[in-house]
Amino acid sequence: MDLTDEQWRLIGPILAVPVPDLPAPGRPPQEARTVLNGILWKLRIGAAWENLPALYPSHQTCYRYYCEWKKSGSLKAILAALGKDLSVRGGLAIKLAMSRGDIRIFPVARKIKVEFAPRLQDTWQSSTALLFLQLQQISLRCTGEAFASGTQSHKNPCGECFAPTARHQLIGNRL
């Protein structure tokens, strides 16, 4: 599920860049919303960049923007804005929803299965929550902690926990 119009109104100003009067040499700029939707899809699903669906810009383009936005701090600001929106407008606190049973996580083989209560299924709230659950899973895997063990702390931050790299052992989750 892509960003809603309400979410984009919060995030758009973070990525706003002035448009030059003259065309710049090199690759033409891509629409930021479409690129961000591709990046968030990749982070939410945990797939390889090469598996990005065709409805998004190329995986090379999305990865290039991902690296630029991560380096500039924009990606961190986007995630903070989405997290705040999820709790304020969406009324969903992930830890509370897990304790109430609205979100259930099951280890299946070497993967994680996430189930949402019927009222949350196929909503922007579940899509955003899945993004944060995936990022939490990456965070815990890069420290060697098991997500399914119930440990919710990240004692040894690596500084790249929202950025899967070769040293992260990512376990994808599919609904």
* Structure confidence by residue, pLDDT tens digits, 68-91: 999 988 999 999 999 899 989 888
Q: Is residue 61 in some structural domain?
A: yes
> Strand pairing partners for 113?
106
Which residue pairs from 88-97 have beta carbons closer than 8 angstroms and sit at least 24 positions apart in sequence? 89/6, 90/124, 90/125, 90/128, 91/125, 92/120, 92/125, 92/129, 94/129, 94/132, 94/133, 95/152, 97/129
Element (H, E) at 113: strand 111-116
Return the pLDDT at 167: 33
Encode pLDDT of 105-164 as tens digits.
Answer: 888 776 778 888 998 888 888 888 888 888 776 555 544 444 444 444 444 333 334 433
pLDDT at 8: 93
Give residue 37's domain range.
Answer: 5-13+27-149
- Tell me the three-class secondary structure of 55-105, residue by residue: CCCCHHHHHHHHHHHHHHCHHHHHHHHHHHHHHHCCCCCHHHHHHHCCEEE
Per the domain annotation, does 103 fall within a domain?
A: yes
This prediction has a pTM of 0.71
171 falls within a domain: no
Least confident window among 20-29, 42-51, 78-87, 92-101: 20-29
Number of domains composing the chain = 1
Mean pLDDT of the chain: 76
101 lies in some domain:
yes
